Amino acid sequence: MRLEIRASDLKDWFQYRCERKFIYATLPREIRDSIPVDEINDSGIRGDEGIHFEQNVLTRLIERGESVLRPKPHSYHVSPELTSAFLRGEHPAQFIYQAKLDETQSLRADLHLPANVSIRTGLPDLIEWIEEGGERRLRVIDVKHTRRPTQYHRAQVAFYALMLRGVFNSLGESNPPLHRKANIWYIGGGDQLWENERGLFDLRSYEELLRDFFRRQLPGMTSKTVERGSDPTFFHLYFKCEQCQWLQHCSKTIGDNLHPEEWDISAIPGLSHQSKSFLHRNGLRTVGSIARASQLGDGTWTLRTRGKLLKERGEAILSNQWSRLAEHHTWLMPPKIDVPIFLVVDRDPVANHLVSVGCLVGGIRAKPPTVEVITQANDELPALSRVLTSLIHSLREIDNHNAGVPADEGLRTHIFVYEPSEANDLRDTLAMHLDNSEVRTQLLDLVRLFPPEEVRAPEPEYRGSHHLPASALRSVMEQLYVLPVTVSYDLARVSRALAAVTPPLANPYIPEPDFARPFSARLSIDIMRQLADSPELVKATRRDTVARLQAMQSLCRWILEDNSQAEQDFLRLRKPPFRFQQQFHPLDAIDLDVLLAQELLQSRADRLATLVELARPAQERRERLRCFAELELRNAHNKHGGAILEFFVPAKSRQAELTPGSLGLILTDDDPDLRMDPTLWRQCEVQLLSSRSPSHVRVKVWRRAWTSPTMQRLMRETPSNGWFLDQAHVDINTERMAALLRFLSKADQ
């Protein structure tokens, strides 16, 4: 199969890792049209903005007096003759814009290209002559309309460097004057149009990355033949596919024209590229085959830890029924919430400011939503302040109410976003405005939401990503439920699926046509870019934000009601009535207050990370190498008031990464009320001892734990093979750090 590869195709490969996308992009158009392939040719607003940014950089470069060799009018590149003269140092210009780099025999040999693969003309944005150590060197520069250059951007630039090496070899230069470092110019901060120092990177490792791709991965792609009625290319549908011009074509594999049994396994949410590839190799290609499989195998780490969950999600799609996952619990949501608070946040990653932010206070202190749509960067801070003021005002009302009632009769509150990324965007935005005293005050109020002495409110944390004190409803749904939804657990899919069950969700999110996205409910960048010029679109965005807030409120009510009907709470965050942490004084906060707040937040983040792991079923904890599961007690003898217990370890549990010296180990019978209650951990805490054989483990139980009611109950009631050894959380630093900071604070007075 003939392929014609461009540098941008390699960027896309390292960005998406999609074989089909790469092959479709590099197939000659006549072959692609003969299949045929549905293609969206609109380059989109992002593409137009990238071209505009590149032109602005070029204009600014010329305005400041730099000598730039440019293409002639109506030409896309500098002529081959002038390009060669510049590369040989025979042209006086310092920069060349859009130099024409062609395929060479040297490049083909370097990449081990087969006869049916060719390299299309490369047009690097800029190449610059620089002086270093008394020598002139050429530096490759690419201009990217982004805030953060990534690996795939660097891979594209490195390919231009490989092409340059080939050009120099064809000119008889065996030692080309190519600088070891290339550069990416990207969006600058403040009045600076672009950053030209922090984008520097070493070419060597990226050139080797490209050689590895051409020599090891490309041959497998070229061996496949794409033709009408036959397409063996590997693809996978997930959230990044929203930006792909062939999304419509690939979506046919999960379209309404097929029975769900025949859908591609990409329809199952949470399936990774690697796991899909493994399942394909084992003949599992459809949702029906996954649902009928006795097990999904041990081929990948994801399948070992999540195979059962993926199978159940496939079954839910086929049955069009929802179910709650047995033995699953979550620490991301409390079972009782009197005043839930919901936040919606949309942030433009390129313009680098919030576009919409909304807050809805529900429950017995319900208030109309506060929504701000931001069309200019200068409007971000006032809009953010108005929404945060509304949020903090509601929390102060609850705090004042709770101050006048008995502690156990106060109001309980909790903050929710839907996507974890929304909390991250809010955190990043707040971080940009910490020079503003009002924001610092409001941020510290958010830090003060949970008293440090109340260890059972260990916010905030989501899968290791530190964010504000909020839980993501999406992660709650993913941890607890399987739903008849495809590809993604986004708000639109989840809420629509639950609107059709009993009891139904009251207010599903059904976006207006302009706001509908394939795999996400967040605001698209195309909408963001049009807001400044369209008052009607601003109004529609406000309606969309309110609709998302109301759908989140309905979803929260639905989960709480389902928990109330369950035999045992699966919502495990035991939250006391809300009170501000009075220890902090944000109006006159000093640096030590902030340090103490950060230390406490980090401690809670670590604690919750542990609790999230302990909330998983034993099989998942075992496969994640964090648990010795189903240990069989073989021997127990008293020693110095405590005890030494010896267990036989089943073969499947012998890979656990728990070693002598590990801190905070707990020995339980897997009862969730024990393993997920930090107040009981000291009663079942043990020390792992060295053992002569991986089939046996020995633990030391200290006197305090051995004589505790919990351990005595475990010894009486636990079946011989019903023991579990898990990694809990132990914090030996926070209390010491807090004492030190308080001492320093007093000494400074």
Q: What is the pLDDT of residue 466?
A: 31
Q: How far apart are CA 268 and CA 265, in angstroms?
A: 6
Q: What is the pLDDT of residue 465?
A: 29
Q: How far is CA 592 from CA 586, 606, 660, 738, in A?
A: 12, 21, 37, 10
Tell me the two tokens of residue 120: 């299309």
- Burial class of residue 477 (count of CB atoms within 10 Å of its CB; 0-12, 13-18, 19+): buried
Longest dimension (CA), the chain: 90
Q: Sorting pLDDT into bands at 50, 70 and 90, what band is 444?
A: low
Q: Sorting pLDDT into bands at 50, 70 and 90, what band is 590?
A: very low
Q: How far apart are CA 143 and CA 125, in angstroms?
A: 6
Q: What is the pLDDT of residue 451?
A: 35
For tokens 């010896």, the residue is 646
CB 554 within 8 A of CB 495: yes
In single-letter form, the type of residue at position 132 comes to: E
Residues forming beta bridges with residue 595, ordered by sequence position: none
Q: Sorting pLDDT into bands at 50, 70 and 90, what band is 457?
A: very low
> Which tens digit of pLDDT belongs to each residue from 357-405?
999 999 999 999 999 999 998 999 999 989 988 898 998 899 899 999 9
Q: How far apart are CA 237 and CA 254, in angstroms?
A: 10
Tell me the two tokens of residue 745: 């604070």
**What is the three-class DSSP state of 201?**
strand
**What is the three-class DSSP state of 162?**
helix
DSSP 365: G
DSSP 577: P
Contacts (Cβ under 8 Å, ≥6 apart) of 638 = none
Q: What is the pLDDT of residue 445?
A: 60
In single-letter form, the type of residue at position 340 comes to: P
Task: Tell me yes or no: is domain 255-320 CATH 1.10.150.
Answer: yes
Q: What is the CATH number of domain 617-727?
A: 2.40.30.270
CB 451 within 8 A of CB 579: yes
Q: What is the pLDDT of residue 656?
A: 86
Q: What is the pLDDT of residue 47?
A: 78
Other CB atoms within 10 Å distance of the CB of residue 25: 20
Q: What is the pLDDT of residue 31?
A: 84
- Burial class of residue 400 (count of CB atoms within 10 Å of its CB; 0-12, 13-18, 19+): exposed
Half-sphere exposure of 371 (CA within 13 A, CB side): 20
Q: What is the mean pLDDT of the chain?
A: 86
Task: Domain ranges for the chain, please list them.
Answer: 44-222, 255-320, 339-609, 617-727
The arithmetic mean of pLDDT across residues 253-274, rounded, is 93
DSSP 670: S
Q: What is the pLDDT of residue 34?
A: 84
> Which tens digit of pLDDT belongs to each residue from 145-190?
998 899 999 999 999 999 999 999 988 887 899 999 999 999 987 7
In single-letter form, the type of residue at position 729 comes to: H
Q: What is the pLDDT of residue 591?
A: 47
- Tell me: pLDDT of 631 over 80: yes
Q: What is the pLDDT of residue 736?
A: 58
CB 116 within 8 A of CB 1: yes
- Tell me: pLDDT of 584 over 70: no
Tell me the two tokens of residue 691: 């053992």
Minimum mean pLDDT range among 44-58, 663-677, 721-735: 721-735
